[in-house]
């Protein structure tokens, strides 16, 4: 999916997008293409007449964007970046409904593996037996599901 982005300094074409890319990810790609500072944000608008696209959780498809569309980007200082208000709905204690799914609070023991397990790297290891073979991991692949397992370098690599 390609999008043309017009901005004050000219225009840039982004071609590494998919319909499932989120608006937030699009803003990140735009920021990277424009070489913005961390203190700057991006406001985008599209369509005719141009309307702001403010829901960062939408996919590009659900935001109504199609291959070849043109967008307008305005660079903002962090102080002027609009704050998106999100209403969270508590389902049960520790579970909150989000626009794109559910957020679950889980207590992790402080055993030097809490960050690794909280990001659920286990699913990635299980789903990719070629990259994460028993030989690569140095132990059986199901070890990561044990409560005292530590991912070490594999976990750190996946978090980057």
Q: Tens digits of per-residue pLDDT, 94-117?
A: 787 776 777 777 666 666 655 555
Instruction: Kindly compute the dihedral angle of the four CA atoms of residues 153, 121, 28, 87, in this order, to the nearest 10 degrees.
Output: -140
Residue 159 within any structural domain of the chain: no
The domain tally of the chain equals 2
Q: What is the dihedral of CA 143, 144, 150, 156, to 10 degrees?
A: 130
Task: Point out the domain boundary residue: 80, 98, 117.
Answer: 80
Joined together, the tokens standing for residue 85 give 């208000």
Out of 33, 53, 80, pick the residue that ends a domain: 80
Q: Record the pTM.
A: 0.49
Q: Tokens for 24?
A: 């937030």
User: Could you report the per-residue pLDDT of 62-74, keeping only the tens digit for each?
Assistant: 998 999 999 999 9
- CB–CB of 102/90 below 8 Å? no
Are residues 15 and 60 located together in one domain of the fold? Answer: yes
Q: Mark whether 95 and 54 lie in a shared domain.
A: no
Given CA atoms 29, 35, 41, 45 in this order, what sign does their dihedral have? negative
In angstroms, rounded to a whole number, what is the distance separating the alpha carbons of residues 31 and 57?
17
Q: Is position 160 within any domain?
A: no
Q: Which tokens sit at 99?
A: 């626009």
């Amino acid at each position: 999916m390609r999008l043309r982005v017009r901005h004050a300094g000219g225009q840039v074409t982004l071609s590494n997008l998919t319909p499932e890319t989120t608006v937030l990810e699009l803003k990140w790609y735009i920021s990277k293409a424009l070489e913005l500072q961390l203190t700057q944000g991006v406001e985008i608008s599209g369509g005719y007449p141009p309307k702001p696209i403010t829901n960062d959780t939408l996919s590009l498809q659900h935001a109504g964007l199609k291959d070849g569309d043109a967008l307008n980007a305005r660079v903002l200082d962090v102080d002027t970046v609009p704050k998106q208000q999100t209403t969270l709905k508590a389902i049960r204690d520790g579970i909150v409904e989000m626009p794109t799914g559910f957020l679950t609070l889980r207590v992790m023991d402080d055993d030097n593996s809490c960050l690794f397990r909280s990001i659920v790297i286990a699913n990635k290891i299980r789903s990719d037996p070629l990259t994460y073979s028993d030989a690569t991991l140095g132990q059986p692949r199901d070890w990561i599901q044990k409560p005292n397992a530590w991912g070490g370098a594999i976990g750190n690599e996946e978090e980057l």
